[in-house]
A and B are shown apart, each in its own frame.
Chain A
Amino acid sequence: MHVLAVGAAAPAFRLPAAEVAAAWGRKGGRGQAAVCGADEDVLTLAAEAAGRAIGASGLQTDIVDGLWWGTSRPPFAEGPSHAVLAAAIGLSTKSGGALCSGSAHAGMEALLGAADAVGSGSARVALVVVSDAVVPGAGTAFEERCGAGAAAIVLVADNGPASLGARVTRTHPYLGRYRGDGEAATRDLYDARLFREEVFLPTMRDVGEQLATLDIGAWSLPDPDGRLGTTVAKQLDAGTPASSAVFTQLGDTGAAAALLGAAGALDASGTVAMIGYGGGRATGLVITAERAVPGAASVAAILADGQPTTYAATLRARNQLVPNGETVPMGVPPESAQLVRGADEILGLLGARCVDCGTINTPPSIHPHCISCGSAKFVLTPIARRGVVHTFVINHTMPAPFVAPLPLAIVDLVDGARVMLQVVGSGADLRVGTEVELVLRRYIHERGVPVYGYKARAVPNEESA
């Protein structure tokens, strides 16, 4: 099984550990963790990483046969998590794959599942996405280091720049870090010493020593608390693992950690070993790169890009700090007909191009007639994902659950379509003429489920033409 390309994504914000420590009356707090804004989650991170991997592979999304997604905690506890992500990535409605979840080990399960599908011939092109944004219990010891991020990898049978090699799995039925049935947040370890000495280190040694018999150039090792990773690396004589930079930037990214820690190391030829741990299981996998894997070179820059945030804002985004009283419900409930009719055009960003005058009408379902010429003849088309701000506002006055400031922009896309969308961020730097790209975001979390759509995000200056 060969690797065609990789991609990565990190959320918008970085929370200093010291802020969390101070809030709980603790001294210190080292480093930072990547945390989601209110409009980000495991699915938006997964979509962004997948888009980058597919972009780096040079493939069209419609030839991907399956999506294997690993995450501790899918956005719908029960629901169309996999289907929504597949639609947002633009995969064919005939694509297959699997959603692996339930612990941070889910990332390795997705990767091995996809590899087996390619190996067996049931899929020619497999897309693997691993993402996590675990909600740590407030005040837990691992809260300071609990991060978020995503990685993606495109697998094919042969002719890729890298190939998958040996794999090792060990399993032990111990309860480590977990979330109880119906609970909103992940619990702390019962006893950190017990976990370290009897669960984590023995398992790592078991798996790691098997892999270490090969000639490993770079390691991606788990580091659930900011200290255990160093101990494991010493045990395996692994030096400074390739994954340590990821942990420094993002903290523990759970199910995404193993692949995220390895992805950057695929930038050059060599052998990379990764170990994923969670839920009483540990799996190691070796990837050997013959040459640089497309997408690997940009991983470091993606991880480094983040804005500082506060503990209060993080708690609000995680729905752990909620306004008193009732909030205004969305006029169109998430399960309603409008979102059944509109799902494809919202997630796939579709427009209706008028056959007679060329005007792109968005969204198609509310435009039986062209806004420019009145014609009823259309061709459905994905609209462009880049454009410039024609005009904008920043809304400061809305009832809960809205949080101000909320910028909204009228955007002229490069294909001539015009859309109005919310804008990522505070809008402080927004101007008429600002170049933006459209990115998937979580608009609402209501009735226990997310609703996704696109937002405009300013393109960094160096990227704009």
Chain B
Amino acid sequence: MSWNRVAVVGAGLIKFGELFEQSYEQMASGAFDAAVASVDKGFDPSTVETAFVATQRGSLWGQEGIGGNTIPTALGLAGIACTRVENACPSGSDAFRVGAMAVASGVYDVVLVIGVEKMRDKSSDEGLLSRAASGHPIFNRGETAPVLFAPFATRHMHEYGTTREMLASVAVKNHYNGARDPFAHFQNEITIDDVLKSVPVCHPLHLLDCCPQTDGAAAMLLVNALRAREFTDDPVYVAGFGVATDHPYLHEKGSFTSLKATTLAAERAYSMAGVDPSQIDMAEVHDCFTITEILDIEDLGFFDKGKGGVASIEGETSLTGSIPVNTSGGLLAKGHPIGATGVAQLTECWWQLRGEAGERQVEMRNGYALQHNVGGRGSGVSVVNILTTHRT
């Protein structure tokens, strides 16, 4: 059974990168302008009734206690209702889900979902890496972001014979796609050898197995499906979504070859959308590290458990493969401005569904695109959103 009460009529983002010259507010304004400009039949910004803003770590740009009120003023919309959504790496995709529910509830007809993250105002040492000293004083000591995923690589390699070359092939493919995405942080192609020879960050992951720290913002305009044609003749609909949690500490995990939160979130999203993995035409998945994409494409049901590495190196997830994954360049090449990431992934899905992805356009046989994030302490939260061109 489909669930088509919410339409996406506009989406846009700013060029991701190290945006030292732009403030948080300027990035947000740029993304909002891009989303407004993307609406086929025009969009009056003052029609936005409420906004949901995703920012994961305000502390990275000096706003430790950011609430909902920074964004409306930055967009010239002071006075509207606005709420911040924070749910770790899936903050952007969860803000989208919350926005969709706000429309579906009938309370609002026109909703802005915007994700903004400043990752580079603080130095690398003082920024995200400083989490090595946060959390439990003993059981998390030294746990930087790569520590949350590298143990899965070690174990996946041990159990399934996944190789560093297979991991590297994910980065090579995503950089290839990113070089064809004008919004991507990195615009260069790389080779498997480049990845293998890059410096070790967190064994067995090396530098090019890891996404960069990127500033960025992305925005989407959601409306009541009944009013979609006021804005465009090519609306995209929300087919379904799923959110799930898992234990927050690594030592509580039952498996180090699968992320349970992803598996559960996907089951819920597929069920709500009434589709199965074989009907998905392309997917934007959480590739914060190369191993993460391999886990994702297995946990989302695109490949059998243990086969993700082979599928990747054999090109099954390339633009012309059986299931193109991370056509935008993914987190590895496009970047991972945390709150903006999910919204930007959904924007890529929106473009692919509307046939607007240019050089990156893949064949949309069934009219379904899937977006996925996983993150938080112990990768304990995942969000999956499914978009479609189908109204019924």
Contacts and interface: CB of A to CB of B under 8 A. Distances in A.
A398 B154 contact: no
A359 B199 CA distance: 39
Interface stretch (A7-15, A216-224, A385-393): A385-393
Interface string B197-225: 00111111100000000000000000000
B136 interface: yes
A421 B142 CA distance: 10
Interface in B143-177: 143-144, 146-147, 150-152, 154-155, 158
Interface in A389-405: 390-400, 402, 405
Contact of A393 (B132, B134, B146): B146
Interface string B103-135: 000000000000000000000111001101111
A402 B147 CA distance: 14
A418 interface: yes
Contacts of B205: 393
A410 interface: yes
Contacts of B155: 390-391, 432
B141 interface: yes
Contact of B142 (A331, A390, A406): A406
A432 B150 CA distance: 13
Given A390-B155, A406-B142, A408-B142, A396 B200 contact: yes
B1 interface: no
A310 B262 CA distance: 46
A420 interface: yes
A314 to B, nearest CB: 22
B306 to A, nearest CB: 15
A427 interface: yes
Given A362-B251, A399-B129, A393 B151 contact: yes
B61 interface: no
* Residue in A334, A410, A419, A420 whose Cβ sees the most chain B Cβ within 10 Å: A420
A393 B251 CA distance: 13
A408 B204 CA distance: 12
A133 interface: no
Contact of A328 (B133, B152, B201, B256): B133
Nearest to A363: B139
B251 A331 contact: no
A80 to B, nearest CB: 16
B210 to A, nearest CB: 9
Contacts of B253: 410
Given A328-B126, A410-B250, A453 B154 contact: no
Contacts of B204: 393
A397 B256 CA distance: 22
Nearest to A451: B137
A408 B137 contact: no
A405 to B, nearest CB: 8
A397 B129 contact: yes
A410 B251 contact: yes
B305 interface: no
A373 interface: no
A77 interface: no
A371 interface: yes
A414 interface: no
A330 B256 contact: no
A399 B126 contact: yes
* Residue in A391, A400, A427 whose Cβ sees the most chain B Cβ within 10 Å: A391
A319 interface: no
A398 B144 contact: yes
B151 A391 contact: yes
Given A391-B256, A432-B154, A397 B251 contact: no
A248 to B, nearest CB: 36
Contact of B154 (A346, A362, A392): A392
A283 B195 CA distance: 64
A342 B199 CA distance: 37
B142 A402 contact: yes
B247 interface: yes
Contact of A420 (B124, B200, B250): B250
Contacts of A432: 154-155, 158
B252 interface: yes
A444 interface: yes
A312 interface: no
Contacts of A418: 251-252
Given A410-B251, A420-B249, A392 B151 contact: yes
Interface in B33-47: none
A422 interface: yes
B158 A330 contact: no
Interface string A429-465: 0001000000000011000000101100000000000
Contact of A329 (B133, B138, B154): B133
A332 interface: yes
A396 B137 contact: no
Nearest to A453: B138
A330 B142 contact: no
A394 B137 contact: no
A379 interface: no
A181 B145 CA distance: 42
A398 B137 contact: no
A427 B147 contact: no
B124 to A, nearest CB: 8
A332 B136 CA distance: 7
A214 interface: no
Nearest to B152: A391
A328 B139 contact: no
Given A391-B152, A399-B126, A432-B158, A408 B143 contact: yes
* Residue in A330, A332, A399, A422 whose Cβ sees the most chain B Cβ within 10 Å: A399
A338 interface: yes
Interface of A: 328-332, 334, 338-339, 342, 346, 362-363, 366, 371, 390-400, 402, 405-406, 408, 410, 418-422, 427, 432, 443-444, 451, 453-454
Given A328-B126, A396-B199, 7 more contacts: A332-B137, A371-B247, A393-B204, A398-B129, A402-B132, A418-B251, A420-B249
10 contacts: A331-B134, A338-B137, A395-B144, A397-B129, A398-B142, A399-B129, A408-B147, A418-B251, A418-B252, A453-B138
3 closest A-B pairs (Cβ-Cβ)? A453-B138, A399-B125, A331-B134
Interface of B: 124-126, 129-130, 132-144, 146-147, 150-152, 154-155, 158, 199-205, 247, 249-253, 256
